[in-house]
């Protein structure tokens, strides 16, 4: 194995980690050294572990030059700054795998086992657009796997089912697949839960003039309009059963029949589907057709909940602060480290969407271009735990007195607002003099 990294400790680590695995490790400190080494000894090199960030020619440039020169050795790209753009490009251009640094021993041994079993991933050619524009942010192992999946499936015509809780970014994954697909047609989406059943069929498949009351002209459905592009059926789990059967026929025959029409139009769009529900459970409950589920789930991509990739939260905070402040025209000088600490501690039931909304609210309320804890709303995980549907009964069960509850609430509001008594009094709905009296009564201190 040729280890290409400007840090010699990486090659030492690989040597130690693979001791007993019959692996000989050689090192190159730059892309140029790697090209020279492989030019003379490509035949006896089984794999290359290639750092993305190198002095001079970077890892991706090195990889591309190797391919241009006909060197087909499996290349594993590694970086401590994984982004969707880098990961998807690497997989799209034929990399054997992509790993985040520091590389774990178990991961390295897994890669070696994969190489020996010749389980080489068939990847796609080239990327159509920068994936950063799709809005996916994060370099956790779970997200890197999502990025690699996008790279693997983008160029194919296979139907992809995107799974994950609400707010995780399933539509962004769909947009990224379209961006890397090379398709020149449009990207379009329909939310199956947002359109009434009586209108959804016409929206998807179109209708002919006179097909029903109010159909004063013929209209192509959204599937037809997405010709040459990609079409996402969002929240497919909420599609009525009678329409599921018609959709299945469309996917099987690759043709669309408008309501009231007599002819068929060839379906020339790549179809993706997304849902925040468990399709297998829906099938068992009779809420989804089993045959449709298997037709949609040719390939599945699962987007992890934010609580399962907490390492990405700081990067997401920075991303949202930058993009939202730019849109609002409100430059941000900095973010209080306590903000990161508090946001990292939250469970985020609303996932990335909830985090984005919290950041936007903070940016609207912040003063002097500095995001502070006092600008943050009360997060759901910080509320008094509710034991049942009656919050009053819950407080009684906890034996919380009215005075204790009042003290805790005033103390929390003051802490959130950096002890700005005027703002705290406004939020509490009391006069500032009353607040001062309460502070003295309860012995509260900043």
Of the three residues 365, 383, 401, the one that is the final residue of a domain is 383
Cα dist from 336 to 91, 317, 368, whole Å: 37, 12, 13
Query: Confidence band (pLDDT; 50, 70, 90) for 119?
Result: very low
> Above 60 in pLDDT, residue 122?
no
Cα dist from 365 to 1, 17, 358, 417, whole Å: 54, 51, 11, 11
> Above 90 in pLDDT, residue 231?
yes
Domain membership of residue 145 (yes or no) is no
Residue that is written with structure tokens 């946001």 in the block = 343
pLDDT at residue 291 in the model: 93
Domain extent for 367? 306-383
165 lies in the same domain as 241? yes
| Structure tokens, 436 | 């001062």
Question: Which of 119, 101, 124 lies closest to 49 in space, CA to CA?
Answer: 101
338 lies in the same domain as 209? no
pTM over 0.95: no
Beta strands in 297-365 (DSSP E): 299-302, 334-335
pLDDT at residue 400 in the model: 58
| Residue 242 burial (CB count, 10 A) | 9
> Above 80 in pLDDT, residue 71?
no
Count the domains in the chain.
4
Contact 270, 229 (CB under 8 A): yes
> Above 60 in pLDDT, residue 118?
no
Q: What is the mean pLDDT of residues 19-29?
A: 83
Phi/psi at 300 (5° precision): -120, 140
Percent of the chain scored above 90 by pLDDT? 19
Q: What is the mean pLDDT of residues 84-102?
A: 75
Per residue in 104-126, is it b (16+ CB within 10 Å) or e — as a string? eeebbeebbebbeeeeeeebbee
23 lies in the same domain as 85? yes
Q: What is the mean pLDDT of residues 262-277?
A: 89
pLDDT at residue 42 in the model: 58
355 lies in the same domain as 400? no
273 lies in the same domain as 160? yes
pLDDT in tens, 138-177: 878 888 888 888 888 888 889 999 999 999 999 999 999 9
128 lies in the same domain as 162? no
pLDDT at residue 170 in the model: 94
369 lies in the same domain as 433? no
> Above 90 in pLDDT, residue 232?
yes
Contact 97, 49 (CB under 8 A): no
Question: Which of 232, 225, 307 lies closest to 267 in space, CA to CA?
Answer: 225
168 lies in the same domain as 280? yes
272 lies in the same domain as 349? no
198 lies in the same domain as 296? yes
Of the three residues 363, 383, 403, the one that is the final residue of a domain is 383
> Above 90 in pLDDT, residue 371?
no
User: What is the C-alpha separation between 326 and 320, in angstroms, rounded?
Assistant: 10
Q: Dihedral angle at the C-alpha atoms of 382, 306, 195, 187, nearest 10 degrees? A: 150
pLDDT at residue 426 in the model: 85
Of the three residues 257, 273, 302, the one that is the final residue of a domain is 302
């Amino acid at each position: 194995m040729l280890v290409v990294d400007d840090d010699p400790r990486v090659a030492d680590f690989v040597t130690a980690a693979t001791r007993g695995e019959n692996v000989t490790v050689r090192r190159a400190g730059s892309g140029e050294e790697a090209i020279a080494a492989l030019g003379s000894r490509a035949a006896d090199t089984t794999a290359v572990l290639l750092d993305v960030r190198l002095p001079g020619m970077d890892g991706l440039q090195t990889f591309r030059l190797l391919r241009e020169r006909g060197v087909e050795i499996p290349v594993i790209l590694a970086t401590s700054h994984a982004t969707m753009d880098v990961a998807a490009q690497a997989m799209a251009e034929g990399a054997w795998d992509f790993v985040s640094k520091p590389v774990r021993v178990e991961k390295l041994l897994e890669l070696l086992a994969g190489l020996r079993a010749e389980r080489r991933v068939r990847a796609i050619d080239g990327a159509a657009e920068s994936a950063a524009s799709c809005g996916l942010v994060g370099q956790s192992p779970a997200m890197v796997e999502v990025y690699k999946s996008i790279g693997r499936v983008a160029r194919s015509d296979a139907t992809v089912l995107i799974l994950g809780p609400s707010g995780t970014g399933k539509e962004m994954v769909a947009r990224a697949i379209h961006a890397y697909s090379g398709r020149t047609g449009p990207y379009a989406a329909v939310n199956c839960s947002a359109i009434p059943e009586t209108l959804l069929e016409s929206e998807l498949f179109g209708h002919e003039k006179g097909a029903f009351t109010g159909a004063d002209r013929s209209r192509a459905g959204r599937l037809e309009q997405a010709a040459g592009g990609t079409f996402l059926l969002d929240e497919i789990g909420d599609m009525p059963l009678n329409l599921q059967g018609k959709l299945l026929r469309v996917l099987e025959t690759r043709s669309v029949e408008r309501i009231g029409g007599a002819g068929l139009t060839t379906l020339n769009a790549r179809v993706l589907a997304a849902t925040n529900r468990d399709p297998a459970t829906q099938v068992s409950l009779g809420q989804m057709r089993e045959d449709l589920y298997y037709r949609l789930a040719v390939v599945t991509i699962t987007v992890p909940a934010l609580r399962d990739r907490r390492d990405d939260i700081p990067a997401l905070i920075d991303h949202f602060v930058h993009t939202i402040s730019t849109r609002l025209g409100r430059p941000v000088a900095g973010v209080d480290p306590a903000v990161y600490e508090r946001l990292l501690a939250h469970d985020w039931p609303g996932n990335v969407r909830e985090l984005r909304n919290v950041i936007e609210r903070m940016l609207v309320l912040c003063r002097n271009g500095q995001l502070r804890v006092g600008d943050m709303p009360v997060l759901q995980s910080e509320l008094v735990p509710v034991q049942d549907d009656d919050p009053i009964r819950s407080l009684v069960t906890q034996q919380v007195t009215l005075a204790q509850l009042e003290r805790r609430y005033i103390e929390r509001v003051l802490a959130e607002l950096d002890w700005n008594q005027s703002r705290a009094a406004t939020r509490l709905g009391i006069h500032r003099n009353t607040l001062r009296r309460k502070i003295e009564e309860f012995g509260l201190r900043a």
